[in-house]
């Protein structure tokens, strides 16, 4: 592992404060190793993570055999949230371009998927993939003009674009049936949807791992930490941002389509609801934005806790998430990952 | 004649938008915080007027000072204990923070008051005047007058009073202002309170014109951004012109096309202007 040196070729932001860049130590070991030796277990981290991932996937694959309908749906929701949070983190955590528009992608994807099934254009599995690819294409079109904007303006523009998507889908009745919504054939068996969501989530996590540990991810972080410096070092920042954005849109799109098949009915107010963005943001920042593990941990923890509340009262759910975002921004900007690292339960970040 | 009628109606609504957007603009100008919760402060103002009217029969015009005072107090508390902590931090953390606040307030309001639409049907404010052959809605005309008055008073306060001068100095350069002996912490408290009160007044006025529910803030914050984009930072006149323009554009779209699309006008303006002028928006500010 010590042979990995893409870091050396990377542009470094001019950052005299020595800010830590990576949030967790997934692949950071080799670089830290050059600075000072690590305790034995930290050096074997990639292998440890691989084993943990394999155990988790095996457990999740076997889960439908033992779970009842309620628990299976709950697990599906957890996976959905993990893929939302992980994909949000690709553009907002790694590249620092906070997006309030994830709900827009979720809605677009659900509509593509639902309409493909409804019109019997193709079987459902290709329809899910098409939904993801279609949403990525939308992101590519949106990203080209909006990602020239600086972070805060991008954030606000995405808030607007998500609403425009909802209004267009509602108004375009000939294609989308407008406010009537789309009814899909009833699927009694949750398992296929669950497995589809599991595959999607694993892909999202693997992609996130590659972003987090590659030169590509390092470039995104350099944009987050100092975009002007990155540009000055010759990084074509817009191109990298668009790539991350396009990649990140695939997952909410495909997840939206699977969700549509799972619930059997969608209409604009439900799939374009801001709560989807709120979910992605709150869970990702709770875990720790800009880290690989953070969004996973945050999404699992928060979904398991909040699903009880959601069942009781969806508005209370919103109160909970809103309050949580405030508390995290004020008191724990690095999320749970930072807390665990400070305690020494997780390996510390590498420095650029 | 129809068109003229629609334009007048849009201009009157635009006056209320101006008051709302000016509050947001003021807060950003002084503290460099984009308050995504501004719409929810407006919503709370609207509900104050609604409940005072429907529970205690308070004249909606008399409840305006009450709703302004309440939101001023809430604004001061928010600023003192929450927002102050992100002043000087990157814009994105204040955006996330105020996004959380907005979600929180909206959730509480939905929780307490449902998603039903409410409006204040105060007799003397219903119906319309005949003016130069046009039908002018009473509630819109009165709302426009009050919005103009409050915006003008704020302008005068900033322009001519001693504290207003301190506020402008802080907006120009907080550190230099501090060195000159201005209590910038207190300036920020007052500014956040003032901005919140302006949002509250616009909410109290809006609820006499049309029905609102707890989600109204989200559409209004987009309008405010569109206005600020059109008018430019710190310019009262610019924001006012932008607000009137948006009011007219929305009413015309609603009349000739579709109310759904009217809702999209502000988002479209926002996105288009930002794409044409990426550094635009609140000036050339990072």
Mark which residues 23-52 of B lie under 8 Å from A by CB: 34
Q: Whole-angstrom Cα distance, residue A313 to residue A307? A: 10
pLDDT at B51 over 70: yes
Nearby residues of B235 by Cβ (< 8 Å), 6 or more positions away: none
pLDDT-based confidence at B120, cuts 50/70/90? confident
Any A CB within 8 A of B257 CB: no
Average pLDDT, chain B: 86
pTM of structure: 0.84
Q: Where are the alpha helices (DSSP H) in A264-274?
A: 268-271
Size of interface A-B (CB pairs under 8 A): 122
pLDDT mean over B53-68? 91
pLDDT reported for residue B278: 60
Cross-chain CB nearest to A151 (options B92, B100, B263): B92
One pLDDT digit (tens) per residue for chain A, 352 residues? 343 444 444 444 443 343 444 444 444 444 444 445 555 656 666 777 788 888 888 888 888 888 788 888 889 999 999 999 999 999 998 988 888 889 999 999 999 999 998 888 888 889 899 999 999 999 998 888 888 777 777 888 888 888 888 888 888 888 888 778 888 888 778 888 999 999 999 999 999 988 888 888 888 888 888 888 888 888 888 889 999 999 999 999 999 999 999 998 999 988 998 889 988 999 999 988 888 888 999 999 888 888 777 767 777 888 888 999 999 999 888 888 888 887 777 766 553 3
Q: Are residues B105 and A322, on separate chains, in Cβ contact within 8 Å?
A: yes
Q: Which of B200, B202, B50 is CA-nearest to residue B113? A: B50
Any B CB within 8 A of A175 CB: no
CB B40 within 8 A of CB B101: yes
pLDDT at B141 over 80: yes
User: For residue A167, which residues of chain B lie inside 8 Å, CB to CB?
Assistant: 260-261, 263-264, 267
Give buried/exposed letters for B46-83 (b at 16+ CB in 10 A, else e).
Answer: bbbbbbbbeeeebebbebbebbbebbbebbbebbeebb
Q: Are residues B104 and A326, on separate chains, in Cβ contact within 8 Å?
A: yes
Q: Are residues B99 and A325, on separate chains, in Cβ contact within 8 Å?
A: yes
Q: Are residues B100 and A100, on separate chains, in Cβ contact within 8 Å?
A: no
CB B66 within 8 A of CB B204: no
Q: Which of A263, A248, A241, A101 is CA-nearest to residue A182? A: A263
CB A332 within 8 A of CB A298: no
pLDDT reported for residue A10: 41
pLDDT reported for residue B277: 67
pLDDT mean over B109-125? 83
Cross-chain CB nearest to A150 (options B100, B266, B286): B286
Give buried/exposed letters for B137-163 (b at 16+ CB in 10 A, else e).
Answer: bebbbbbbebbeebbeebeeebeeeee
Q: Whole-angstrom Cα distance, residue B55 to residue B53? A: 6
CA-to-CA separations, A174 to A170, A261, B257, in angstroms, rounded: 10, 21, 17
User: For residue B263, which residues of chain A lie inside 8 Å, CB to CB?
Assistant: 163, 167
pLDDT mean over B203-232? 86
User: For residue A325, which residues of chain B lie inside 8 Å, CB to CB?
Assistant: 96-97, 99-100, 103-104
pLDDT mean over B157-183? 88
pLDDT reported for residue B67: 94
Q: Are residues A325 and B286, on separate chains, in Cβ contact within 8 Å?
A: no
Least confidently predicted of A316-325, B119-128, B176-185, B213-222: B119-128
pLDDT reported for residue B284: 42
pLDDT reported for residue B73: 95
Q: Are residues A163 and B222, on separate chains, in Cβ contact within 8 Å?
A: yes
User: For residue B82, which residues of chain A lie inside 8 Å, CB to CB?
Assistant: 326, 330
């Amino acid at each position: 592992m010590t042979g990995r040196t893409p870091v050396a070729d990377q542009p470094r932001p001019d950052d005299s404060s020595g800010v830590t860049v990576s949030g967790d130590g997934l692949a950071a070991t080799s670089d830290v190793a050059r600075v000072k030796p690590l305790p034995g277990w930290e050096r074997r981290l990639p292998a440890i993570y691989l084993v943990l991932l394999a155990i988790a996937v095996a457990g999740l694959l076997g889960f439908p055999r033992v779970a009842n309908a309620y628990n299976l749906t709950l697990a599906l929701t957890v996976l959905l949230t993990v893929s939302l949070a992980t994909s949000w983190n690709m553009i907002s955590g790694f590249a620092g371009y906070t997006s309030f528009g994830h709900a827009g992608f979720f809605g677009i994807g659900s509509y593509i998927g639902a309409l493909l099934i409804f019109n019997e254009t193709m079987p459902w599995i290709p329809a899910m993939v098409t939904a993801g690819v279609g949403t990525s294409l939308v992101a590519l079109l949106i990203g080209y003009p909006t990602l020239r904007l600086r972070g805060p303006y991008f954030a606000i523009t995405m808030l607007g674009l998500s609403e425009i998507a909802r209004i267009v889908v509602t108004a375009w009745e000939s294609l989308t049936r407008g406010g009537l919504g789309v009814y899909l054939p009833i699927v009694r068996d949750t398992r296929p949807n669950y497995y589809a969501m599991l595959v999607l989530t694993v892909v999202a996590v693997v992609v996130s791992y590659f972003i987090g540990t590659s030169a590509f991810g390092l470039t995104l972080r350099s944009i987050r930490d100092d975009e002007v410096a990155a540009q000055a070092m010759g990084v074509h920042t817009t191109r990298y941002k668009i790539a991350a954005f396009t990649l990140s849109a695939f997952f909410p799109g495909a997840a939206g389509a699977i969700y549509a098949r799972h619930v059997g009915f969608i209409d604009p107010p439900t799939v374009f609801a801001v709560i989807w963005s709120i979910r992605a943001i709150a869970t990702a920042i709770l875990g720790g934005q800009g880290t690989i593990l953070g969004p996973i941990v945050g999404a699992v923890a928060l979904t398991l806790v909040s699903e009880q509340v959601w069942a009781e009262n969806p508005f209370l759910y919103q109160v909970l998430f809103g309050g949580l975002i405030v508390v995290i921004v004020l008191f724990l900007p690095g999320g749970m990952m930072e807390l665990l690292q400070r305690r020494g339960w997780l390996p510390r970040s590498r420095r650029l | 004649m129809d068109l003229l009628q629609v334009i007048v109606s849009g201009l009157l609504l635009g006056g209320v938008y101006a008051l709302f957007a000016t509050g947001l603009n003021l807060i950003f100008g002084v503290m460099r915080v984009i308050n995504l919760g501004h719409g929810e402060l407006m919503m709370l103002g609207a509900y104050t007027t609604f409940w005072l009217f429907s529970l205690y029969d308070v004249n909606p015009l008399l409840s305006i000072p009450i709703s302004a005072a309440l939101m001023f107090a809430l604004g001061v508390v928010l600023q003192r204990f929450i927002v102050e902590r992100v002043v000087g931090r990157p814009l994105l953390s204040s955006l996330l923070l105020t996004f959380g606040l907005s979600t929180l307030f909206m959730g509480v309001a939905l929780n307490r008051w449902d998603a039903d639409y409410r409006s204040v049907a105060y007799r003397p404010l219903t119906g319309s005047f005949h003016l130069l052959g046009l039908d002018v809605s009473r509630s819109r005309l009165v709302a426009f007058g009050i919005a103009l008055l409050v915006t003008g008073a704020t302008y005068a306060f900033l322009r001519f009073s001693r504290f207003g001068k301190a506020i402008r100095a802080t907006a120009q350069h907080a550190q230099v202002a501090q060195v000159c002996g201005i209590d910038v912490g207190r300036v920020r408290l007052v500014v956040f309170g003032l901005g919140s009160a302006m949002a509250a007044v616009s909410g109290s006025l809006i609820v006499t014109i049309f029905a609102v529910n707890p989600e109204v803030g989200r559409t209004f914050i987009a309008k405010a951004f569109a206005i600020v984009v059109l008018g430019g930072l710190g310019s009262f006149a610019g924001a006012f012109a932008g607000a009137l323009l948006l009011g007219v554009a929305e009413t015309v779209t609603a009349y000739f096309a579709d109310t759904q699309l009217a809702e999209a006008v502000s988002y479209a303006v926002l996105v288009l202007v930002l794409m044409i002028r990426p550094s635009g928006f609140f000036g050339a500010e990072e």
